[in-house]
Amino acid sequence: MPYCLPVRRFVGLVAVVAACSGLDALAPRITGRAGIPASDAARIVAGLAATSARDAGLIEAYATSKTFTILHDGRTSVRVVAALTFTAPDLKEFTVLESRGSDFMRTRIINRMMSTEVEIAREQSRKRAAITPDNYRFGAVREDGDAYVIEVEPRRQDEVLFKGQAWITKDGFHLKRIEGEPARNPSFWTKHIRFVSEFMPVNGVWMQVRTVATVTMRVLGEYGLQAECGPYLMSMALDPSAK
């Protein structure tokens, strides 16, 4: 079948993006370069760790919709709309509401993408994928408007890790954007994978809202993946710092 080859590529890509939806509470050890001292870089990442831990404690549950689209040769091959719910500490569930396009690509790619995201949300899987010193090295730091940008390098060739950059807001140290490629190329047939994932504030915490990715295959050419979330309905705990 002509669609067999891309399956693992997309699943591996979404594993990376799902893994980066939240950060572990541990502060990474990094070396400051590109004009920003190591002490400032450490402060940025420590702030991000503190913010991430706070946000994780605030979110009791949420519900949203997630739309997956796979594109090839300028045409939509698959479009799936699913309801996504999360219940703290680590339970995610998808329910498909609408599906159009290839049944094969839906069952072999989109369904597996959703199951991978559910698995990554679990506590043990999060440790393997978390942005911590055990999983990553951290390099150059620069400024980009309202955010700091930190170079991220994986410590091992693992499909749930990525190599690229993370944008962290100057105000509040929130994860704003990640951009890069999987730490491990899933197959000889994959020439290149590149993704951008964006986060925006919802009820005071920053949630993943959009991912756009390109997968270039040696035989089948270029595929595009889009995944969009929203709106979010949040159930929040009382913030102790607000008392």
Would you state the pLDDT for residue 189? 57
Question: E-strand spans in the chain?
Answer: 59-72, 75-87, 91-101, 136-144, 147-154, 162-169, 175-182, 190-202, 205-217, 221-229, 233-236
Q: What is the pLDDT of residues 150-200, one digit of tens each?
A: 998 999 988 788 999 999 999 999 999 999 988 876 665 566 788 999 999
- Joined together, the tokens standing for residue 120 give 């990554």
- The vertex-91 CA angle with 203 and 78, nearest 5°, equals 85
Give the dihedral of Cα atoms 173, 176, 180, 184; nearest 10 deg.
70
Rounded to whole angstroms, the maximal C-alpha distance in the chain is 59
Would you state the pLDDT for residue 17? 54
Would you state the pLDDT for residue 28? 39
75 or 140, which is more confident? 75
184 or 66, which is more confident? 66
Which residues, including other chains, have CB under 8 Å from residue 46's CB and lie 6 or more apart? 27
- Average pLDDT of the chain is 80
Would you state the pLDDT for residue 188? 56
Other CB atoms within 10 A of residue 42 CB: 18
52 or 220, which is more confident? 52
Would you state the pLDDT for residue 76? 92
Beta strand pairing call for 136-144 and 147-154: antiparallel
Would you state the pLDDT for residue 8? 53
Q: How many residues does the chain have?
A: 243
Q: What is the pLDDT of residues 13-47, one digit of tens each?
A: 656 655 554 443 333 333 334 445 555 767 787 78
Beta strand pairing call for 75-87 and 59-72: antiparallel
Would you state the pLDDT for residue 104? 80
